[in-house]
Chains A and B, each alone.
Chain A
Amino acid sequence: MSHARAVTAALLPYAVALTVPAHGAADFGVTVNLRPPQGCSASVTPTGAEGAPQVTLTCGANLYVNVQPTVLTVAAGSSPIASFAPAAPGVMGSAAAAPASTFQDVSSLMSLNDTRTSVGGALFVQRRATAGDAQGAPMQTSTNLSQLLVEPTPGAAANLAGQPVEMWLIF
């Protein structure tokens, strides 16, 4: 009896349906790797709040850089300022941060987009807000203040993102 039932079932109508998704989709990953820059962009303000020129660095949030000094060009025939004018307390470049005989306030010698003759001075750039940050060694010369670029280097950490800094000429 069971044998006969199997033969009959094999001859009945049947349907085949393939079920697949209505459309196709696939995921893929997009990875973004960010590296710190070789140099930060800088804008120069000839005269800052304390009479010194300021540089505002744009280095990206949470980017920690150490600033090297840059040689500054100053007006031809101008005389180096003989006496050191201490900055206001708490401002970088004050007597507490470096010997008084080393630094000069060069604000009166500087202007933007003004080509001058180099007198071999070295410009140190430091963050204003915190005293005691280390200074680097003189690095390069420039013939125009608009070309000034503060070069960060690996080393001591100082978060300079958007921070105003003061520049000092050293002879």
Chain B
Amino acid sequence: MKRHLRIASLVAALSLYAVSAPTTAANGDFTLTVNVTPSCLFGTNALTLNYTSFQTSATNTTAAVTANCTTGQVYRLTLASASGSAITLGGDNITYSGTTVGLNYTLRIQNGAGDTDINTTAFQTGNGAVGQNYTIRGVIAANQEGTCTADAANTPGAAICATATETKTIVATF
């Protein structure tokens, strides 16, 4: 009987405390801070350059790129030779020398239509989820010989005698 009385008294005390507490805290102010760091997300496609030794016209191929950059963020585009490698802002074209197949090629960033070069010093403005279209244009100049892999089965005008894939990077800088 005494135990039942002590439990009842404890429950009653807790009930009084719980009812009175929210009344004081409901008037407190707080500050909400949202820090947004700008970013660009790219959608890229592989670029394939087919070339025949000594061909008299250049190989000219494009690959589409989409960029979703933070709305209102001003950025510049450039190309890097590989992930994490140094970039250079201030030029129109990026030139690479193929190593495996002995061909020199250039890469350029162009607008979505692929008819105007984008200088790496030019500023772009992000438009968020809408996205912006760009073009990567790869060119191998005419009259290069290239280097086939050492294989006696290589035959003129026939199958591919050498192939190489290099990873390049498109970079947005703020």
Contacts and interface: CB of A to CB of B under 8 A. Distances in A.
A55 B53 CA distance: 19
A30 B75 CA distance: 24
What is the size category of the interface that chain A forms with chain B? 35 or more
A65 B145 CA distance: 14
B33 A24 contact: no
B1 interface: no
B156 A39 contact: yes
A36 B165 CA distance: 18
Interface string B111-149: 000000000000000000000000010101000011111
A63 B30 contact: no
Given A32-B49, A36-B53, A60-B53, A17 B34 contact: yes
A150 to B, nearest CB: 11
A34 B163 contact: yes
B37 interface: yes
Contacts of A64: 148, 151-155
Contact of B169 (A22, A26, A152, A155): A26
B47 A29 contact: yes
Contacts of B72: none
Contacts of A11: 25-26, 28, 30
A65 B101 CA distance: 18
B90 interface: no
Nearest to A16: B34
B173 interface: yes
Interface of B: 14, 17-18, 21-22, 25-26, 28-55, 63, 65, 67, 69, 75, 80, 83, 96, 98, 100-103, 105, 107, 136, 138, 140, 145-174
